[in-house]
Structure 1
């Protein structure tokens, strides 16, 4: 078995693991990143696409936003569509901040390119990963079949909710399953609107989003046990056209490049730490996608962790590491509530009666007509500050 040594072992090469590795490198801290998938898969994996204002600012500060600034699509508002009309929430006018549409896989590509250019260890296609949080030691088999043992000062578990790190934490897991799912499609069609449209409809929620000026991302609320085989392309376009209908709106269509169904859950792990291992991103928490918080929470986690690790290695301080879980969870629970609130306001719950639907419409109309209510939505949507 080949022995290795580093300061921080990072399990998972998603946005959390890669961003943490980059921030640590900027702080002069060594790390090794391990990923069970191949580079091509990781760079093509389609996920979230909305970057909060603090996320964009951090990527710029970290020097990995050149392509983001060239290709990202800044947005200064979103539309709530109900009663057959759009009701714009002016994000920038209300908060002075904006969001940027830029695919998660694009952030991953930028971070991988920076890691490779710096010549830092990034190991793909590893298998058999085991973690001892107390020692700490990570063992794995490299892509060439060589067994390896990685000794480190700390482990960062950034390998998602089904990864090996989350299983090692003796924690309380708070979970909530939502009674619906999203059918998502990526279509070769220009966006039909300049902004994201969150639609409340009697047949179920629909979302119009985008990835580039040529690629549209669209979603439909479906049952959690729905099968993708039941949704040929023509049915998807017909249902989107029906739910997104509004005066003066024409839905642009085109070839569907990808489609899939995602169930919706809220999960929070407390604490986000076991001995000398720290969880970040989906390994510690999951949010329903309605509030566009998943990747942004992961980036916020690793910023907090990088600051704490920096204080430890530079000054021998442990106070920030000891406070890591509590610090992150304050933001996580706020994001969980916002995502739950957006989801509850916009989706048709199975068996909902007329009373419940009227309550949803009352809430939507209040947000659309009250500057205070719209500001609350906007503040949460553009992202709370990383540095309170």
Structure 2
């Protein structure tokens, strides 16, 4: 088999890239190691930056998103019994959209099926060969048989544990990582959200987050020890702890109910450089991970897709390698800014095991500066809604 671009990984970044390339007449084959049903069962965040919303529209897959999404004009931050709003629309004239990543991925799969683009599920032993040469190819096993796809380029959208990043020799790539000493215990519940915008909470007991999927589906988190286990937390214990970390007026309005999903997510910052090796490009979690504070994971993957899509269109339309040669440089410049925002917001809102009394006073001063300083709020708003591509 031959195609122009092989996309390794069937998550939202690979699907969005494939749809955008299709709009420009560029053929793709997408390889996914799991089933479609497995991919769609993943529970992920649902805050979409302006840039990602616009890319969904450009790809022609925004109809349901535009119809069903919730537009958020700001967010709220609480500390102890205080709470303040950061009004994105007032500060910078922009907003974010709440639309579940599962729904977005569902829309992209439906769109890929509608254009009859080749997607191969349940592939095994994917190997990327000769990526540093002019004629790369990918081999994989499906149905017990080995297959080969010759191509012009390979987009590695296969996540942190995928084969794409590991294909780049260790002598070429450099990895940067910070592991945070806590995790997020999260539950999904069929209850109305406690507030019409997200609440990021700092308390003496640790961080908490109140978020939503729709008017009857809420997602809540509390900071927990990185060694904690889900089985240590009953639903009642979770709700009790969440209430303790919220302002009294919010806690009193919280509607509780049985969890329909419960999990603990570790927090880490990770970046690999470069994001291109020859004709192999890394996108999304294959190249970088951010803490979930500030919802930059999917959105940063989308910015990679933007730069890669532009580079590939420029190559096929104009026979110009400039975008390809500078893809890594452009993508990483924005990645590190997103990493900084996620890192700084995580430090602002969480309790760390080694914080001194001085550290806690400085953290409180930072939060109060954000509360009362419009310039600080404008910086926060600009980063939260997404820096320009």
TM-score tier, shorter chain, comes to over 0.9
Could you list the structure 1 runs, at least 4 aligned residues long, displaced by more than 6 angstroms after superposition: none
Structure 2 counterpart of 1:345? 348
**Is 1:136 aligned to 2:139, yes or no?**
no
CA contact (8 A) 1:23 1:303 kept: no
**Is 1:44 aligned to 2:41, yes or no?**
yes
Aligned with 2:249: secondary structure?
coil
**Aligned residues between the structures:** 382
- Alpha-carbon displacement from aligned partner over 1:55-80 (angstroms, at most 9, x marks no partner): 11221122111110111111001000
Structure 1 counterpart of 2:66? 69
Structure 2 counterpart of 1:158? 157
Structure 1 counterpart of 2:116? 119
**Superposed displacement of residue 169, structure 1:** 1.4
Structure 1 counterpart of 2:284? 281
- Alpha-carbon displacement from aligned partner over 1:173-198 (angstroms, at most 9, x marks no partner): 01111111111111111101111000
Structure 2 counterpart of 1:174? 176
Structure 2 counterpart of 1:95? 92
**Superposed displacement of residue 385, structure 1:** 1.5
**Superposed displacement of residue 247, structure 1:** 2.6
Unaligned runs of 5+ in 2: none
Instruction: State how far apart, in whole Å, the 1-side matches of 2:128 and 2:254 are.
Output: 49
Q: Please report the TM-score for the alignment, with normalisation by the length of structure 1.
A: 0.97
Structure 1 counterpart of 2:237? 235
Structure 1 counterpart of 2:147? 148
Structure 1 counterpart of 2:193? 191
Instruction: State how far apart, in whole Å, the 1-side matches of 2:120 and 2:33 are.
Output: 8
Aligned with 1:165: secondary structure?
helix
Instruction: State how far apart, in whole Å, the 2-side matches of 1:246 and 1:373 are.
Output: 26
CA contact (8 A) 2:20 2:58 kept: no
Instruction: State how far apart, in whole Å, the 1-side matches of 2:280 and 2:248 are.
Output: 50
Aligned with 1:338: secondary structure?
helix
CA contact (8 A) 2:92 2:382 kept: yes
**Superposed displacement of residue 246, structure 1:** 2.5
Structure 2 counterpart of 1:382? 385
Structure 1 counterpart of 2:218? 216
Q: Please report the TM-score for the alignment, with normalisation by the length of structure 2.
A: 0.96
Aligned with 1:155: secondary structure?
strand
**Is 1:27 aligned to 2:30, yes or no?**
no
Choose which of 6, 11, 14 in structure 2 pairs with 1:14.
11
Instruction: State how far apart, in whole Å, the 2-side matches of 1:97 and 1:60 are.
Output: 17
Instruction: State how far apart, in whole Å, the 2-side matches of 1:145 and 1:106 are.
Output: 32
**Superposed displacement of residue 264, structure 1:** 0.5
Instruction: State how far apart, in whole Å, the 2-side matches of 1:250 and 1:98 are.
Output: 25
Instruction: State how far apart, in whole Å, the 1-side matches of 2:347 and 2:327 are.
Output: 30
Choose which of 283, 304, 307 in structure 2 pairs with 1:304.
307
Instruction: State how far apart, in whole Å, the 2-side matches of 1:27 and 1:303 are.
Output: 13
**Superposed displacement of residue 22, structure 1:** 0.5
Q: CA RMSD in A?
A: 1.0
Structure 1 counterpart of 2:293? 290
**Superposed displacement of residue 245, structure 1:** 3.3
Instruction: State how far apart, in whole Å, the 2-side matches of 1:278 and 1:342 are.
Output: 29
Choose which of 355, 360, 363 in structure 1 pairs with 2:366.
363
CA contact (8 A) 2:47 2:97 kept: yes
Choose which of 73, 76, 85 in structure 2 pairs with 1:79.
76
Aligned with 1:59: secondary structure?
helix
**Superposed displacement of residue 211, structure 1:** 0.6
Aligned with 1:290: secondary structure?
coil
Instruction: State how far apart, in whole Å, the 2-side matches of 1:92 and 1:54 are.
Output: 16
Instruction: State how far apart, in whole Å, the 2-side matches of 1:65 and 1:365 are.
Output: 38
